[in-house]
Amino acid sequence: MRKSSQADFGTGSIGKLLFSMAVPAITAQIINLLYNIVDRMYIGHIPEIGASALTGVGVSFPIITLITAFTSLIGMGGAARAAIFMGRQDNDMAEEILGNCCAALVCISLVLTAVILLFCEPLLMAFGASSDTIGYAAGYLRIYASGTIFVQIVMGLNMFITSQGFAQVGMKTTIIGAVCNIVLDPIFIFLFDMGVQGAALATILSQAVSAVWVLVFLTGKKTVLRIRLSRIHLSPKVIGPVMALGISPFIMQATESLLSICFNTQLQRFGGDLAVGAMAILTSVMQFGMLPLMGLTQGAQPIISYNFGARNADRVKKAFQLLLLCCMIFTTVLWTGCMLVPKIFVLLFSSNPELIEISVWAMRIYMGTFLLFGAQIACQQTFIALGQAAVSLFLALLRKVILLIPLIFLLPLFFEDKVFAVFLAEPVADFLAVAVTVLLFSLRFRKILSDLRKEPPTEKAVENV
């Protein structure tokens, strides 16, 4: 990022900044979704075994989600911390954070790969696999886990590219990988007749290409924060606050694994493989909804964090208000589509009539309150941008651990249709979580802005660096 570009965070038009940062981030998130969505589309349409293979691969989603959750623990926490220090004109400390995050991501990837390869089958059975689907699930996961280090590098370090203002470069990271994945998927799945294993191989090879792109950029001359060997180490004083701030998005994603266990085991109990297969489709649609929202918040995060570091309360407030408006518009549009034409989404993943029928019925239940979710994401992610680790952690725990998981097991006790009750847990938990989040945010945000205004930004805080 050139000096003038960095100063734009403190002086440029909020609307133009958010647009220039969020559009590439949203595009990148949607393209990133193709890594798994394209796999599922191809797998679901494999002749004769498509439905069973899709269900098997769906069982591996929780573990894949856990792998990506660790990228948020380090990447989102580190990128937000780095942006705050850049707002304070301390690029040396921001670069030290980048080096520590590099070391942490490599260490985490090695541990995750070893654990998953050693305990693959037991983990999958615990996550809802059956004797009919365990072969597909294990075949996919073993190959995917072997490329964990590429996933960590791409998703963890790409956030540092975006947080510096290089939104277009961050978008290209995912475009490169997604294009490779789209090209390689049919080759490995159908031409080489590798099935689900071919889908996994195509994905990790694509991630490897993207990882090379990220590392070349962050060690090159165009970046402000550069990866240097002298800074690649783990310092508790540096990585500790990073992980404290990243724990909220980590829990948001990691608990998806726990949720999948709960959903899959309950649905397997009451509805069998067909209900679990429907859940795989619903999870894919929910991801389609969540990733653009995360793109919006990634676009807004460096703007909010930079101005928070520069103590510019008015710009922090304006950036949040615009983020909230954009998130609410998106969730309302997607919710309308899910309620009116759910079959369009389902047909992307399966042509099995029975699976289509249950998925269409379940989608209207599962996505029932998604239109309100824009407020949840905007408020929770803004807390992270403002360095509010404790509050963002509570909100992450509230929706999934405190509300949703108990409801998955409690609601079937009160309904004759047990499968309906399991799917109903999602909208009930979402409604309660949004209500609490908005109330808490309105109280805390007002105080944060008041504290910032007690010491307004100086000219030095926003000048070119």
What are the pLDDT digits (tens) for 154-213? 989 998 998 887 878 888 888 898 889 888 988 988 888 887 888 889 989 999 999 999
The whole-number pLDDT of residue 306 equals 83
The two most distant CA atoms of the chain are separated, in Å, by 67
The whole-number pLDDT of residue 20 equals 78
| Mean pLDDT, all residues of the chain | 84
Written as six digits, the tokens of 263 are 């959903």
**DSSP helix/strand/coil, 110:** helix
Write out pLDDT tens, residues 86-104: 878 888 999 999 999 999 9
Identify which has the larger pLDDT, 432 or 40.
432
Rounded average pLDDT over 73-78:
90
The whole-number pLDDT of residue 392 equals 79
Write out pLDDT tens, residues 334-388: 999 999 999 998 888 777 888 899 999 999 999 999 999 899 989 988 888 888 8
The whole-number pLDDT of residue 32 equals 64
Asked if 231 and 98 touch (Cβ cutoff 8 Å), the reply is yes
Write out pLDDT tens, residues 403-413: 999 999 999 99
Closest CA to 281 of 359, 199, 370, 200: 359
Write out pLDDT tens, residues 114-151: 999 999 888 888 777 777 778 888 888 999 999 999 99
Residue 23, classified by CB atoms within 10 Å of its CB into exposed (0-12), middle (13-18) or buried (19+), is middle
Asked if 164 and 306 touch (Cβ cutoff 8 Å), the reply is no
The whole-number pLDDT of residue 50 equals 64
Rounded average pLDDT over 9-38:
72
On the question of pLDDT at 457 being above 60, the answer is no
Question: pLDDT class for 24, splitting at 50, 70, 90?
Answer: confident
Q: Please tell me the least confidently modeled range out of 135-139, 274-278, 285-289, 438-442.
A: 285-289
The whole-number pLDDT of residue 462 equals 34
Asked if 442 and 464 touch (Cβ cutoff 8 Å), the reply is no
How many Å apart are CA 127 and CA 141, to the nearest integer?
Answer: 13
Helix 3-11 vs helix 236-309: crossing angle, to nearest 10: 60
On the question of pLDDT at 47 being above 70, the answer is no
How many Å apart are CA 348 and CA 344, to the nearest integer?
Answer: 7
The whole-number pLDDT of residue 34 equals 63
The whole-number pLDDT of residue 460 equals 40
